[in-house]
Amino acid sequence: MLEKRQKAPEKLVAKKPLANKLTASAAQTKPRSNTQRELNRDKLEADILQHAVKMFAECGYEGTSIASIAEQVGVSKQNLLYYFASKQILYQRVLDDVLDAWLDRMNSLADESRDPQDLLRSYIQAKLRFSREQPWGSRVYAMEVIGGAKIYGQEIRKKVIPLLRKDIATFEKWISQGKIAAVNPTHLLFSIWAMTQSYADFSTQMTLVLNQKKLSTKDFAEAEKLIVEMVLAAISIKA
């Protein structure tokens, strides 16, 4: 009897490590489950944005409905509205993504430590790359602006003007230092925007004239070469 009473505590002690293992296992499983849910959520949000940008570019804001986007994505309208509470919120997010990508490139122009020619060459390359890789986003933005920027005008003023002033200040400093010719920085940037974005916004016209289905890598390479040459010629100091 004494022997049995002495062994009982050993059995109780033996159960504790098992409980600890189960607790640890549950703790490890929970983050993985949460991470998977987050990945699924991010993927669905990306799918919604991918289909939305194309539909807004093809049909415009008024011609696009939440139901039609949901159908393209393969989810219910209610499920889509869980991620984006209204069509306007989704539309603004699409435009935010486009403008933020462009502003990142604009911000690089204010780097006074770099050579102006190299900066402008990189900027033109980046703008054309966006037109080639994300033409739908560029077209949505163009349609909004052509329509008077009724929905997104305030965001354009708020986000673009401060960076534009910053870039203009850098250009004016380069001019005063004799690094570039005395050009109008604002209209120089307007010209770069027009030239680079047209390869997305008016690519249909270009392909019709060229009698081909889409613009090729060669077309973009030749466009980049010409635009860079034109811009660098405009800022070069004349002997």
pLDDT given for residue 66 in this prediction: 96
Residue 55, CA atoms < 13 Å, CB-side half-sphere = 22
Q: Are residues 53 and 139 in the same domain?
A: no
How many CB atoms neighbour CB 24 within 10 A? 10
Domain boundary among 83, 112, 137: 83
Global pTM reads 0.80
In a domain, 26, yes or no: yes
pLDDT given for residue 13 in this prediction: 42
pLDDT given for residue 39 in this prediction: 67
Strand, helix or coil for residue 224: helix
Of residues 76, 78, 89, 103, the one with CA closest to residue 49: 89
Q: Are residues 79 and 173 in the same domain?
A: no
Instruction: Write down the mean pLDDT value for the chain.
Output: 87
Under 8 Å between Cβ of 124 and 224: yes
pLDDT given for residue 219 in this prediction: 97
pLDDT tens per residue across all 239 residues of the chain = 444 444 444 444 444 443 444 344 444 444 555 786 666 888 999 999 999 999 999 999 999 999 999 999 999 999 999 999 999 999 999 999 999 999 998 988 888 888 999 999 999 999 999 999 999 999 999 999 999 999 999 999 999 999 999 999 999 999 999 999 999 999 999 999 999 999 999 999 999 999 999 999 999 999 999 999 999 999 998 86
Q: Are residues 144 and 178 in the same domain?
A: yes
CATH number at residue 26: 1.10.10.60
CA distance 195 to 138: 13
Cα-to-chain-centroid distance, residue 172: 29
In a domain, 218, yes or no: yes
- What CA–CA distances, in Å, run from 71 to 63, 75, 80? 15, 6, 10
Q: Are residues 150 and 180 in the same domain?
A: yes
In a domain, 219, yes or no: yes
Q: Are residues 109 and 57 in the same domain?
A: no
Q: Are residues 198 and 170 in the same domain?
A: yes
pLDDT given for residue 29 in this prediction: 45
Residue 68 lies in domain? 2-83
Strand, helix or coil for residue 1: coil
pLDDT given for residue 35 in this prediction: 82
Q: Are residues 61 and 117 in the same domain?
A: no
pLDDT given for residue 6 in this prediction: 46
pLDDT given for residue 195 in this prediction: 97
